[in-house]
Each structure stands twice: as structure tokens, then as C-alpha cells.
Amino acid sequence: MERVTVSLDDELAAQFGQFMAKRGYNNRSEAVRDLIRAKLETERLQVATADGFCVGSLTYIYNHHERELSSRMTEMHHDHHHLTVAMQHVHLDHDNCMETVILNGPIHAVQAFADSVISAPGVRHGKLHLIPVNTRSGNHLHGNVPYAKHLPHLHYHPVT
């Protein structure tokens, strides 16, 4: 591990201390590492190529009474099943539901799918969180699962 020394003026150091306390960091090093990772991820996503890959989560809230919205959402998810890893549906009250979808795939495809969900009439809130990843092919045994022996698949590794 490489050691880096950083000097901060008193005001910035105090603000950083407040940031750490608010977020529950016990040491400066981990707080700085997380800030650097977040900035690098943001930069990578801004200049990502069309063939770059990501993992991410899409969370949105919608009114399930909205005319045909539930069936439109189901159809959108089926049309993009290759991007979806998992989904959770929660009933917030009599009218509103929240869904969180774990996604992976090409950045442009994940972003386009999320945009189409978030902009659907009846969706009130939506947020996509993406993390750029490197991919490599896998074709090996995972545990003692006979039917999964040597099935081709992708491995996703965070870039930062």
C-alpha cells in the first residue's frame, strides 16, 4: 500500500472532519479512499465508451393505480431481461410501490433502460447508481453445482 500525505487548510480540515463524523468514518484514510473512488467512478462514467460495462441499481417509486403502468413496467423489464440480475418490489402504502433492480451490462444499455423506466408516466421518483467494471469471461466450476459446471458467464470487477 502506498502512503500519501495531504495538507489541508484549517477550514477544509474542519469540514472534512464534519463529513467523516456525519458518515461514520473512523479514520481519514478510508474516507479519502471512498471520495477518490467516487470521483474516479464519476469521471469514468462521463467518458465511458459505448462498449464499457457497469453494474448498478435502479430504484424508483410509482403509483400502481396509474392506468396500465404495472403492465407497461412488466413489459419493459421483460424486454430488457438480459440486463436484470434481481429485483425487489415493496408496497409503501395503498397507492405507492418501490422497486429496486440490480442491473449489469453495457453502460449505454443500462442507462437507456433506466431512463425509460424513470421517465414513464406515473413513476414519481427514480435514481440510477452505476459503477464501472471490467469484465472477463468465465467458464469454470462454481462450487459443487453439477448443472453449473463450466457454463460460460461473465465476471464483473470494479474498476476502482
* Residue pLDDT, tens place only, 1-29: 888 888 888 888 899 999 999 999 998 98
Q: Are 89 and 159 in contact (CB under 8 A)?
A: no
- Indicate the average pLDDT of the chain: 84
**pLDDT at residue 39, as a whole number:** 82
**pLDDT at residue 71, as a whole number:** 82
Cα 58 to Cα 45: distance, rounded to the nearest angstrom: 16
Strands 53-63 and 123-138, by their bridges, are antiparallel
Cα 135 to Cα 70: distance, rounded to the nearest angstrom: 33
Q: Which residues pair with 58 in a beta bridge?
A: 101, 128
Q: Are 118 and 76 in contact (CB under 8 A)?
A: no
